[in-house]
Amino acid sequence: MDVRVYPTGVDGTVRAPPSKSYTHRAILAAGYAGGGVVRSPLVSADTKATARATRLFGGDVAREDEITVDAPAEWPTTPADVIDCANSGTTMRLTIATAALADGTTVLTGDESLRSRPQGPLLDALEDLGSESAESSRGNGQAPVVVSGPVEGGSVSLPDDIPSQYISALLMAGPKMADGVEIELDSPPKEVPYINLTIELLDSFGVQVADTDGGYAVSPDQSYEREDPYVVPGDFSSISYPLAAGAVAGEVTVSGAQPSAQGDSEIVSIVKDMGADVSWDEENGRISVSSQPLSGIEVDVTDIPDLLPTIAVLGAVADGTTTMTNCAHVRQKETDRVEAMTEALTKMGASVSETEDTMTVHGGETELTGATVEGRSDHRLIMALSIAGLVADGPTTIRGAEHVDVSYPQFFDHLSELGVEVDRL
């Protein structure tokens, strides 16, 4: 599906979609706990992949308004079939570690994009922790991967500049390892808020993570336990798009936006620092943003890589220069988001420059015009470019827009509710 977005002012209220990151982890935590209920989950292509994996590991997963997981005491068991993680990097990495706990061999794969993303350091870590084997079937550190367990656990050292998902995967599997897990890091990790998010969720399931000198540890004398349903908070990565719409094209209120460990809640400060009128009622979870003249800023995206497309669009509307630094790891997402956003915004008339580790949008030299741009099967590019279309001169067509289903299936419905003219082609 392609969509065409017309330049439109926005006005209204939308509810934040539930967090994708928390939903993934909560489904797996319920499996590790032998069962549980995940309330207000995000139901999207990515989280469905995690639910499928949980079933293949031997759990019973039912979904109505909430997700109910019932798992045997020996969960995870060896899957009877290949686990297809589709486009979900979080599913792939979290369940690679889950697979190492099973007493048998698990094969995991995904779509073309996911098969290009690195998994080697996580596979090496599992072998160092005593997994019978953990390897890439093509020998290139990428999926398909084949993992044989059970893993014993112990101490493992991880190299520089690894994705936070490797650490989260080992922390979540740690209580199920005979010797627990102690992770030593060669350098401070990127995306620390995502690790904190995992630690917060583990704590809610009764698992404590120790902060060691330069790493993390989970002792094996713990078990996942939770009696009450786990309630998924709103997703600040997704909230960034309606907030950006308000900042550039009118006024938007987002409900369901209570504070949490999510690093992407920094979007509230970013739009405020750029000059938008922002108020956040944290107790009631309501954020209101209205447009004012924006000014360029510098943003370090080390811990907030998913915000780069949104910030780039804000920079294209702002006066002055907006620079995103420490963004080399953003090139290893569903696509190279630095190069992809540079190409798309340039096609729309923006002045953009990039290095390996930076992206700079020269707002003072930019006049956005409607164009046909590629979504590159990347939900975050599609949504960010849709926001750019609100203030472009003429309609903007985004190809492959169905991929918003990965994290925000109601995105275009929400734009319509805010008054945006959107054609689904």
Active site positions, annotated: 306
CB 412 within 8 Å of CB 424: yes
In this structure, what token pair is assigned to residue 64?
């109505």
Q: Is 399 annotated to bind ligand?
A: no
- CA 236: distance to chain centroid? 10
Q: Is 36 annotated to bind ligand?
A: no
CA-CA distances (angstroms) from residue 385 to 25, 36, 86, 265?
29, 38, 23, 20
CB 337 within 8 Å of CB 364: no
CB 209 within 8 Å of CB 180: no
Q: Is 21 annotated to bind ligand?
A: yes
Q: Is 164 annotated to bind ligand?
A: yes
> Which of 317, 389, 308, 391 has its CA nearest to residue 350?
317
Compute the CA torsion angle 236, 237, 239, 243 (nearest 10 deg).
110
Helices (H) and strands (E) in the chain, counts: 12, 24
Beta bridge partners of 289: 252, 278
Q: Is 424 annotated to bind ligand?
A: no
Q: Is 333 annotated to bind ligand?
A: yes
- Which ranges of 8-105 would DSSP assign to H, the alpha helix? 20-32, 45-56, 89-101
Q: Is 117 annotated to bind ligand?
A: yes
What is the Rg, in whole angstroms, of the alpha carbon atoms belonging to the chain?
Answer: 21
CA-CA distances (angstroms) from residue 61 to 30, 33, 200, 254?
10, 13, 23, 30
- Give the pairing of strands 105-109 and 66-70: unpaired
State the binding site for 3-phosphoshikimate: 20-21, 25, 164-165, 306, 333
State the binding site for phosphoenolpyruvate: 20, 89, 117, 165, 337, 380
State the binding site: 20-21, 25, 89, 117, 164-165, 306, 333, 337, 380
